[in-house]
Amino acid sequence: MNGIVAAGVINQGLFRLPWLMDHCAEFGHLVCARLGEGAVSRVR
């Protein structure tokens, strides 16, 4: 990954962080539906 792509990935993650903090339960349900219950415990 070059520096420009890495910066874009970090920027996008920081942009989405407030939504994830506000919608933790919804994100957990989505992870569970897509990846299973075991993945939820690794996310929290």
Output the pTM of the full model: 0.55
The closest of 36, 12, 34, 32 to 24, measured between CA atoms, is: 32
Ranges of each domain in the chain? 3-43
Q: For residues 31 and 6, give the distance between their C-alpha atoms in angstroms, rounded to a whole number.
A: 24
Determine the pLDDT at residue 18. Answer: 94
Determine the pLDDT at residue 34. Answer: 94
Residues 1-44: tens digit of each pLDDT: 677 788 899 999 999 999 989 998 898 899 999 999 898 888 76
